Amino acid sequence: MSRIKRTGGEVISISHSDLEKVPPITVVERDDAWKFLIAWDQKVRLKKKTVAKLVPKEVKVDLVSQPISVSHIVVGSRIKNFPITFTGYDH
């Protein structure tokens, strides 16, 4: 028996045979879950004041497995044409 504690504090028991019936998640579902977790974490923990100097932009990201979109805050640079590498610089 596996014991799982839900968000409301309720503890439920699930047998291992029940867990074996659950199909594995697909790559698309995993990617959508990752996008959702990023949006949730930014909503809960990100303070826009701390990233204000990094030119934050809000980007809508559509989920493939669900008909919803989530918002991501993407930070950039204040310098528009900052080169990735400098001329004459060899690695």
**In the chain, where the domains are located:** 24-91
Give dist(CA 49, CA 53) in Å, integer: 8
Q: What pLDDT is stored for residue 40 in this prediction?
A: 95
| Residue 74 near residue 57 (C-beta atoms within 8 A) | yes
Collapse the DSSP code of 69 into the 3-class scheme (helix H, G, I; strand E, B; otherwise coil) and give the result.
strand
User: Half-sphere exposure of residue 21, counting CA atoms within 13 Å on the CB side?
Assistant: 5
Q: What is the pLDDT of residue 24?
A: 83
Beta bridge partners of 69: 62
**pTM for this prediction:** 0.63
Q: pLDDT per position in the chain (91 positions), as tens?
A: 555 555 566 666 777 777 777 788 899 999 999 999 999 999 999 998 888 888 888 999 999 988 999 999 998 776 666 666 666 655 5
Q: Which two tokens stand for residue 33?
A: 């879950």
pLDDT for residue 80: 67
Query: What would the DSSP string read from start to end of 24-42?
Result: PPPHHHHHHHHHHHHHHHH
Residue-level pLDDT at 51: 87
